[in-house]
Amino acid sequence: MVLPQVMGFGPLGTAAYAQTVGGGGTGASHSPGTSGQSMGQGGSTGTKGHYGQGGSTGTETGDEGTSLDKQGPRFGGGANSSKPQEGTTGGRPAWAKEGIPAVELGRLSVARSPEHVLDHAFTEVVGNWATLGTTVMVLSAEGQETITMTVAQLYSLPANEFAQIVQTYYSSIVRVDSPLENLSLLKSYTLTGTMPLTGVTPASQDDMIAIFLGSASDKTIPVSTDTVTAVNTILGLPALTPEQTADIAAKAEAVRLAIDTGHG
């Protein structure tokens, strides 16, 4: 596999590199919405579970069970409920309709979030990307060649190559981890056909969707064709052909498995 190289940079140690990315947070020094060295067991950056104040949670939390970022909204009734009133044009959200496969979604359940929540996450991740996308990663692992590339170059790879690099160099990788942010990117890209992340040239539409979907998924819950159909329906996206569904599912599962394996 021929990987893109960023020339003109001197040798940078992985530990030193980790000091330069982002700021704030507990357990890591990465920007909100990213995952990288020292993540997995540390806390998350960003505001956990408070959609009105932080929108999305950024980094991995290890157990993947503590943040509202993975749960999605639930109707509990009452005056402040998001359930539309009788006689309004609100109607039922896409995720409340029939025809969605009965499949465990885990973190992907946030696809049911209100539109303004996904919009907030989208604004946040695109704003952070101005710096994140141009970040130079020096990727090294025992017994492997050292690779130098930007985060934008990583996201421009086919999904299977993206997965291979993430798995091999996991501790040095910087990527978008938040399920809300990944799903907001997936939705925008699918509906507009325009890549919202500056500097990223998708290998194909299926590859880009698979990277976003696999990154948003729980590390331990496999991505299937039912998963793809469910998320696509919940987000209100155009129907996929069986061939597209199978292709995206296989590639997203490769990304999910790479993250799980790399995380250990």
Q: Is the pLDDT of residue 154 over 80?
A: yes
Q: What is the mean pLDDT of the chain?
A: 76
Residue 165 lies in a domain: yes
Q: What is the domain range of residue 157?
A: 114-263
Q: What average pLDDT does range 44-71 have in this prediction?
A: 39
Q: What average pLDDT does range 51-70 have in this prediction?
A: 40
Domain count for the chain, please give it. Answer: 1
Q: Is the pLDDT of residue 97 over 70?
A: no
Q: What is the pLDDT of residues 240-249, one digit of tens each?
A: 999 999 999 9
Residue 2 lies in a domain: no
Q: Is the pLDDT of residue 256 over 70?
A: yes
Q: What average pLDDT does range 126-153 have in this prediction?
A: 97
Give me the percent of the chain exceeding a pLDDT of 90.
Answer: 61
Closest CA to 172 of 145, 149, 148, 140: 140
Residue 215's pLDDT band (cuts 50, 70, 90): very high
Residue 127 lies in a domain: yes
**Cβ(147)–Cβ(139) below 8 Å:** yes
Residue 91 lies in a domain: no
Q: What is the pLDDT of residues 177-201, one digit of tens each?
A: 999 999 999 999 999 999 999 999 9
Residue ranges of the alpha helices (H) in the chain? 14-18, 115-132, 151-155, 159-168, 179-192, 205-216, 225-234, 242-263
Residue 238 lies in a domain: yes
Residue 216 lies in a domain: yes
Q: What is the pLDDT of residues 17-30, one digit of tens each?
A: 333 333 344 333 34
State pTM to two decimals.
0.69
Instruction: Identify the pLDDT of residue 250.
Output: 99
Burial of 164 (0-12, 13-18, 19+ CB in 10 A): middle
Residue 38 lies in a domain: no
Q: Which residues contact 8 (CB under 8 A, 6 or more apart)?
A: none
Residue 58 lies in a domain: no
Instruction: Identify the pLDDT of residue 23.
Output: 39
